Structure 1
Amino acid sequence: MREAPERPAAAVPVPTAPAATATAALRARRMLAVAAMLGSGLCNQTGAAVGALAFPVLGPVGVVATRQYVAALALLAVGRPRLRSFTWHQWWPVLLLAADFGTMNLSLYTAVDRIGLGLAVTLEFLGPLAVALAGSRRRLDAGCAVLAAAGVVVLMRPRPSADYTGMALGLVAACCWAAYILLNRVVGRRVPGVQGSAAAATLSALAFLPVGAVVAVRHPPTAGAVLCAAAAGVLSSAVPYLADLLTLRRVPAQTFGLFMSVNPVLAAVVGWIVLGQGLGGPEWTVIAAVVAANALSIATTRG
């Protein structure tokens, strides 16, 4: 009996050169986006930690003033706002955003001085989390809000070493960050490009000019302190801003928001390495609760 001829094996599809090139380009863009997001977070928290090194000389107010100057110069170079063409319809949200800029940074840096970088950033992160959860009607998001609130209750539990002023300032920074998100939406709709953010940063820097002068008279700055404060402006404002612009062109906003949830962890690690600010079990529990609430809410959101 003759054996039946063997059937030829199914051909394995081989990607064509254009398809392979497109796949490689997509992977490269994704890797670049991940690197940009990680770099943005690390720069932001490292800048805050480096700025904290200048607290003994300049204090939080002096560091914030210097940071505002540097941020204004960076955003002016990028945005180049045409201030004379602004209408009152455009000016009022820009003015509110300028006030929010200064208040947010001042409350955050003062909180960092009192309770440490990791906990201050964790409390501040409740702001964008609240904005994300406020408009939701899902039970899961309500559970995420309860999880984050439980973490804050653990952090603010009564104990002899608790710094309630620092915690309150961290919550003020959270409210300011929430307002920053909402105001940026209004400014983005009414002012073209990044002119609105550049104008707000400039106004905030001008408001801090007399503050910086008073700090310089009362506490003569050293070259090292000024360098640390200026580095905070570059690392925490200019670099993250440009990195975020690059990232949002390559990844969905949902992915970007999910990655932002690692900022409290990065802040805790950077605070430990740069400033020697160690955290105990309860503090790490709070950070884990806030990060988990944010990540779970964003990861399960559609659209």
Structure 2
Amino acid sequence: MMLASGMANQVGAGVGALAFPVLGPLGVVAVRQWVAGIVLLAVGRPSLRSLTWWQWRPVLGLAVVYATMNLSLYAAIDRVGLGLAVTLEFLGPLAVALAPARRLLDGACAVVVGVAVLVLTRPKLTTDYLGIALALIAAASWAGYILLNRVVGARVPGVRGSAAAAGTSALFYVAAGVPVLIEARPSLVVLGCAAVAGVLSSAVPLLFDLLALRRVPARFFGVFMSVNPVLAALVGLVVLHEPLAWLDWLAIAAVVTANAVSLVTVRPSAQVAPPRPTCRAGR
């Protein structure tokens, strides 16, 4: 289930990217957010009127972060490719994991990640610095998403808070997304690609992650999350025909390894169960 969740997340992002030539990142993200919002509202069925302002505040913050994370990530994918964009985005949850650490080993892992990122973003004639900046915005948004999701989970029972955030986030894209669709006049195939991104990158990971967390320790789940940059690079290669240099593959492996080492060596009593995500890709 964890492998299916990660693969669905990255395949959804890859399929959504196929609609970029017609809809652009904004149009694809708008359709994805609408589909994800409808699905998650149907699953979570939150009673919006029953939520207090104390509960709504983190929900609205999560909705803003959710919308920012997806748009910046998809814009980065459009400019620098799926593998690099997801690897840089993964710095967000890695920073959340390493920030409170006080061990020398965690410091060494952070240094390894820093070197790997320098390798991935090394200046070249074709380096797209705006794309890199957008991926880093997605990373910061994912970090905020993790922290806010914990607050929402504590204040709103079940998945109702995440569903409310997804539905609110979908509303943010009405004003910007509708004009894009009217101007682009996409075919059903193009709309289908964007809709698939909403289902595979949001609904499927949510369901499978919830089921997996009931069967495996949080420690193992956290380690397995680090496979996402590798899956993204593979999907980028197969679906989007985005090859990477061998040095880029080594850098991605370094980021994954540093994350896994940091998580595996944490004492069980110091671990915190990961929040239940509402989206990926991206995760």
Instruction: Please report the TM-score for the alignment, with normalisation by the length of structure 1.
Output: 0.87
Q: Distance in 2 between matches of 1:107 and 1:286?
A: 22
Offset from partner CA, 1:93-112 (integer Å, 9 cap, x none): 11110001110000000100
Give the equivalent residue in structure 2 for 1:219.
Answer: 184
Aligned length in residues? 268
Secondary structure of residue in 1 paired with 2:239: helix
Give the equivalent residue in structure 1 for 2:114.
Answer: 149
Q: Distance in 2 between matches of 1:110 and 1:150?
A: 24
1:173 to 134, 138, 151: 138
Q: Which runs of 4+ in 1 moved over 3 A?
A: none
Give the equivalent residue in structure 2 for 1:10.
Answer: none
Give the equivalent residue in structure 1 for 2:48.
Answer: 83
Q: Percent identity?
A: 65
Q: Which runs of 5+ in 2 are unaligned?
A: 269-283
Amino acid at match of 2:264: A
TM superposition shift of 1:129: 0.4
Give the superposed CA RMSD.
0.8
Give the equivalent residue in structure 2 for 1:140.
Answer: 105
Give the equivalent residue in structure 2 for 1:197.
Answer: 162
Give the equivalent residue in structure 2 for 1:258.
Answer: 223
2:245 to 268, 276, 280: 280
Q: Distance in 2 between matches of 1:273 and 1:158?
A: 26
Q: Distance in 1 between matches of 2:185 and 2:267?
A: 53
Say which one has the larger Rg: 1
Q: Which runs of 5+ in 1 are unaligned?
A: 1-35
TM superposition shift of 1:41: 0.6
TM superposition shift of 1:275: 0.7
Give the equivalent residue in structure 2 for 1:240.
Answer: 205
Offset from partner CA, 1:13-66 (integer Å, 9 cap, x none): xxxxxxxxxxxxxxxxxxxxxxx0010011000000000000001111010001
Instruction: Please report the TM-score for the alignment, with normalisation by the length of structure 2.
Output: 0.93
Secondary structure of residue in 2 paired with 1:250: coil
Q: Distance in 2 between matches of 1:202 and 1:111?
A: 24
TM superposition shift of 1:219: 1.3
Give the equivalent residue in structure 2 for 1:125.
Answer: 90
Map 1:12-91 onto structure 2 (within 5 A): 36-91=1-56
Q: Distance in 2 between matches of 1:272 and 1:157?
A: 20
Offset from partner CA, 1:194-242 (integer Å, 9 cap, x none): 1110111001101111111110122111111100000010110000110
